[in-house]
């Protein structure tokens, strides 16, 4: 199995020889990794290694859970929470706790862990996206009144929703331009690939595998792979569909730049009862896209301040108390800007 050098740990056995960029042999097939070997490989700019599956299975689960993958997932989760508009809410600690529980449970299953490591090795952007989608889905699920067990199940399924992309050629996944019709058809297969992967793993709930299969189904029946409509789509899949699109729009991609929060929310709002379940869109806007009171923001004018008050029904256009001018000079007499009345002024970013 090919893994990232960052996920290598002492005791693993190499399944192939490793050479430096200039052809010098660094380690031979069958070598048992030591920490010093791993550091040496990193210094020689080795990105990935091929390890023996038997040695992988002999490594303790506890050791793997404490490895870089677990730590990286939690760091990514904290980053997405910090950049979401709602991030000053009191339930942040609970969301991180739930995320840690999800990571712990996922990485304790060796077959799932192998697939996650493969996903990270193929394209770390997919791994980041899956963590982000999982966090956003948990927040939406929480606003829908899900209990802890339901949130964990939803979060696990969201974390694995794109696992099928490990079987999509990297040159298609990272193509900078528009996909051809044939390439797009190949990408669409990641849903069924993911379902097949998860369905073969004993103990994986059908609902988790179904999220991978159905997160591109759409309310109007124009999604894939089975053209399901409205009530035929499980609520978990509908939640992940919204989270998936929001994170994709608000994250940089090789083929396009990210859009602003308001633009992503506007797109999703316009797709209400068309591509997406309107109830879930409402909960998404209420729980994810709303700017919480006290959130520090930067306007497109360069002015900085804090959200002083929300505008009911339009959560992305709050009233902002301005504390710093466009030159970052502190203002002696702060003033207020109502973004609902000043349509040309937008929240450019948030900060801590």
> Which among 91, 118, 116 is positioned nearest to 106, based on CA atoms?
116
Please report the pLDDT score of residue 144 as a whole number.
95
Please report the pLDDT score of residue 57 as a whole number.
64
Report the chain's terminal Cα–Cα distance, integer Å.
41
Cα–Cα distance, 125 to 111 (Å, whole number): 21
Structural domain harbouring 321: 296-351
Do residues 250 and 110 share a domain?
yes
Do residues 196 and 105 share a domain?
yes
Do residues 209 and 94 share a domain?
yes
Do residues 84 and 45 share a domain?
no
Do residues 225 and 330 share a domain?
no
Do residues 187 and 238 share a domain?
yes
Do residues 217 and 77 share a domain?
yes
Residues 322 and 337: beta-carbon distance below 8 Å: yes
Do residues 67 and 128 share a domain?
yes
In this structure, how many other beta carbons lie within 10 angstroms of the beta carbon of residue 81? 19
Do residues 331 and 282 share a domain?
no
Using the 3D structure, point to which of 287, 312, 337 is the last residue of a domain: 287
| Count of domains for the chain | 3
Residues 114 and 12: beta-carbon distance below 8 Å: no
Please report the pLDDT score of residue 124 as a whole number.
83
Do residues 46 and 148 share a domain?
no
Series of mean pLDDT values for 10-residue runs along the chain (352 residues): 81 87 84 88 87 68 58 89 76 87 86 85 88 96 95 96 94 89 97 96 90 98 96 97 96 83 90 96 90 89 94 84 94 94 88 76
Rounded-to-5 percentages of helix, strand, coil across the chain: 50, 15, 35
Cα–Cα distance, 150 to 284 (Å, whole number): 17
Residues 131 and 78: beta-carbon distance below 8 Å: no
Q: What is the CATH number of the domain that holds 35?
A: 3.90.105.10
Do residues 95 and 55 share a domain?
no
Do residues 242 and 307 share a domain?
no
pTM to 2 decimal places: 0.79
Cα–Cα distance, 190 to 236 (Å, whole number): 18
Please report the pLDDT score of residue 62 as a whole number.
44
């Amino acid at each position: 199995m090919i893994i990232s050098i960052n996920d290598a740990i002492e005791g693993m056995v190499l399944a192939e020889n490793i050479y430096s960029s200039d052809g010098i042999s660094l380690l031979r097939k069958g070598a048992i990794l030591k920490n010093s070997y791993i550091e040496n490989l990193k210094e020689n700019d080795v990105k990935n290694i091929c390890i023996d599956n038997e040695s992988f299975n002999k490594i303790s689960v506890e050791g793997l859970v404490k490895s870089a993958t677990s730590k990286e997932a939690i760091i990514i989760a904290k980053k997405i929470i910090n950049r979401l508009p709602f991030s000053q809410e009191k339930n942040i600690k609970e969301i991180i706790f739930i995320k840690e529980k999800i990571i712990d449970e996922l990485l304790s299953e060796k077959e799932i862990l192998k697939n996650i490591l493969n996903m990270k090795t193929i394209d770390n952007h997919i791994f980041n996206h899956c963590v982000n989608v999982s966090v956003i889905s948990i927040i939406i699920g929480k606003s829908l009144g899900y209990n802890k067990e339901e949130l964990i199940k939803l979060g696990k399924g969201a974390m694995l929703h794109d696992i099928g992309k490990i079987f999509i050629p990297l040159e298609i996944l990272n193509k900078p331009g528009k996909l051809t019709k044939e390439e797009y058809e190949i990408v669409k297969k990641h849903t069924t690939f993911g379902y097949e992967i998860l369905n073969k793993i004993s103990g994986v709930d059908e609902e988790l595998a179904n999220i991978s299969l159905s997160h591109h189904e759409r309310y109007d029946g124009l999604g894939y792979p089975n053209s399901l409509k409205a009530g035929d789509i499980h609520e978990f899949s509908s939640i992940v569909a919204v989270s998936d699109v929001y994170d994709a729009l608000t994250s940089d991609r090789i083929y396009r730049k990210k859009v602003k929060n308001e633009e992503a929310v506007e797109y999703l709002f316009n797709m209400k009862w068309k591509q997406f379940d309107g109830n879930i869109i409402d909960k998404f806007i209420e729980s994810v896209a709303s700017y919480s009171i006290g959130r520090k923001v930067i306007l497109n004018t360069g002015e900085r301040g804090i959200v002083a008050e929300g505008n009911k029904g339009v959560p992305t256009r709050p009233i902002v108390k301005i504390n710093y001018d466009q030159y970052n000079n502190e203002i002696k007499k702060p003033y207020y800007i109502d973004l609902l009345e000043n349509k040309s002024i937008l929240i450019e970013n948030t900060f801590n």
